[in-house]
Chain A
Amino acid sequence: MKLTRGDKTFISLIYFFLILLLFAAFYPFWNALAISLNSGTDTAHGGVTFWPRDFTFDNYLFVLKNDALLHGFMISVIRVAAGTVLSLFFTGLFAYAMSKKILIGRKAIMIYCIFTMVFSGGLIPAFIVNRNLGLMDNFWVMIIPSIVSVWNMIVFRTFFEELPPEMEESAKMDGCGYFGTFFRVILPLSKPVFATLGLFTAVYHWNDWFTASIYINNQNLKPIQTILQQVLSSTVMMEQMVNSNASAQEFMQRTRSVTNKSITMTTMIVATLPIVCVYPFLQKYFVKGVMIGAVKG
């Protein structure tokens, strides 16, 4: 394949743009990493950009010495695994059925779903429902209510509808039912969308701190983000609290002195690195050629 002159300028432009984006997206993260590896007092002098000036692991030691953190990490990992698998399984099947025009009640179910994207009863009724279901202080409160995602269903469905119908038909010829077709034909053909939505779901489960802060009181069931949220919100809120009353100074200074910029950055790195690392492993599913392999195999 020979490239024309137009192609060449087109591609150079793309590279230029992407390199710009690469830098813009990378720098703040790198800077945070540098700050997290720099001593807190030195960071307060400003000017830490690409490399730590006063290298130390103290910030990490401080953040990681929290016993609850390791436990929270395990909870998060289990939550992400269970939540993603269950959600992909049920939402995927649901979407597959929804992609079939012959499905009786298809339109009604769609509107039934869309309605929940727009209207919500709010936190208090949801809390009462979950509590009555025995989900208070229960690990499953972080999994079950979010198993079916309407948004994911719509994305799944759109992808399934784009699949060439011939393959399904040939599966039907072989005597597969809908379940069989789904697992033997649709699933292998839909790796990109499963990878995408799996990633989105995993990221949601990893990042969500709110559910646990409302429903979980047991410190041993809190996921890592909820524990780290305490560190983060104390940085923000302490700024406002200082103004409240002078006599609480000692109390607040003690709490404040440890939540400086370095700790905030370290916390962020600790909280995001594990989930960030998932993506590169999924990237192979975005490589062209899924279809061709499936047709021939």
Chain B
Amino acid sequence: MRTATNKSTIYKRERGKLYELSRQWELQVMVLPAVILIFIFSYLPMYGVLMAFQDYNIFEGMANSPWVGLKHFEMFFQSPEFSNVMRNTIVISLLKLCIGFPAPIILALFLNEVNRMWFKRLTQTVSYLPHFMSWVIISGFAASILAVDNGSLNLLLEKTGLIDEPINFLSTSKYFWVILASANVWKEIGFSSIVYLAAIASIDPQIYEAAAVDGASRFKRMFIITIPSIMPIVMVFFVLAIGNLLSAGFEDILLLGSSPVVQDVAQVIDTYVYKYGIQSSRLSYATAVGLFKSAISVVLLFGANKMARKYGGGLW
């Protein structure tokens, strides 16, 4: 008897599930093409990560390349560059996170307070221009602005009496991280703020009106209405940024950190992989380091998501 009822409830539940599924067939149809596309273009090539455990011979293909276990991982962990590369990666990406993450949010909040439409539009359009400049061109600007001989910044600092001797910005380790972070903020602040502007634009203006009637100052309205309203998207980006913590940057570092003197603070995982992996055709090694990076990212992402969920956000 007992088993029978169990069976029937299971049957019911299954039927219920099928029923649910049939009721939401439209949703499933919406999901299906995306799932298939992701499968083809992301999952099918995924077997490539196995290269990390092989001595991949590009002429023989993966099927005929010898398996070497964790050799490449050990090589990376034991390489003389490892500790330095990890330190730089973490410091640079934390710096970018602390400065680069809030900057576009603040810009979006500020733009929201601007009443003059033309000024708002102008600032938006102009601040997004640097996103389109390549790092090659930016590093050219940086080299001339930060030069010791007649560099604009040194001239300015000397004129205002802040320094007596020009500073060699580009060839001093301690300035490198700051220069890198500021250049990144400058380049991306306008472009990244667009999504926050969209979030602000989606807020119901009636809420603002109500708050104004209640006598809240503009400054206060920003805190009690705007910021809470854009919080969900901020949280989502924050979680994604944490997951991306080991991607400290590549082209910017390669081009701004060209001085040999700053090499010990400029080498990060991605530049290391480029130099010791891709440029020198060591594909397995590059894959292994990449896989290591991915593994750490997964842990970080899950951790950040768990934290975010406590505050009602999170990706899943």
Contact = CB atoms under 8 A, between A and B. Distances in A.
B219 A10 contact: yes
Contact of B232 (A25, A144, A162, A193): A162
Residue with the greatest number of chain A CB neighbours at <10 A, chosen from B27, B37, B203, B283: B27
A249 interface: no
Contacts of A22: 122-123, 126-127
B181 to A, nearest CB: 15
A147 B297 CA distance: 24
Interface residues of B, number: 86
B58 interface: yes
Contacts of B26: 177-179
Interface string B192-212: 001101111111111000001
A81 interface: no
Nearest to A196: B198
Nearest to B290: A122
A104 B20 contact: yes
Contacts of A292: 204-206
B315 A94 contact: no
Contacts of B43: 116
Contacts of A235: 136
Contacts of A4: 217
Contact of A25 (B30, B127, B141, B200): B127
Interface string A215-242: 0000000000000000010011000000
Contacts of A178: 24, 26-27, 30
Contacts of B204: 291-292
Contacts of B233: 155, 158-159
B67 interface: no
A68 interface: no
Nearest to A132: B44
Contacts of B134: 232, 268
A246 interface: no
B202 A18 contact: no
Closest 8 CB pairs of A and B: A121-B48, A121-B45, A125-B48, A125-B45, A192-B198, A178-B26, A94-B34, A97-B30
Interface of B: 17, 20-21, 24, 26-28, 30-31, 33-35, 37-38, 40-49, 51, 58, 107, 110-111, 113-114, 119, 121-134, 136-138, 140-141, 186, 189-190, 194-195, 197-206, 212, 217-219, 229, 232-233, 236, 240, 243, 283, 287, 290-291, 294, 297-298, 301, 315-316
Interface of A: 1, 3-4, 6-7, 10-11, 14-15, 17-18, 21-22, 24-26, 28-29, 31-32, 90-91, 93-94, 96-98, 100, 102-107, 109-122, 124-126, 128-129, 133, 144-145, 147-148, 150-151, 153-155, 158-159, 161-162, 177-179, 182, 190, 192-193, 195-196, 199-200, 203, 207, 232, 235-236, 261, 264-265, 268, 271-272, 275-276, 279-280, 283, 285-292
Given A21-B189, A96-B30, A125-B46, 15 more contacts: A3-B218, A14-B113, A28-B141, A94-B34, A103-B31, A119-B291, A122-B283, A125-B48, A147-B37, A148-B38, A159-B198, A192-B197, A207-B132, A275-B132, A280-B125
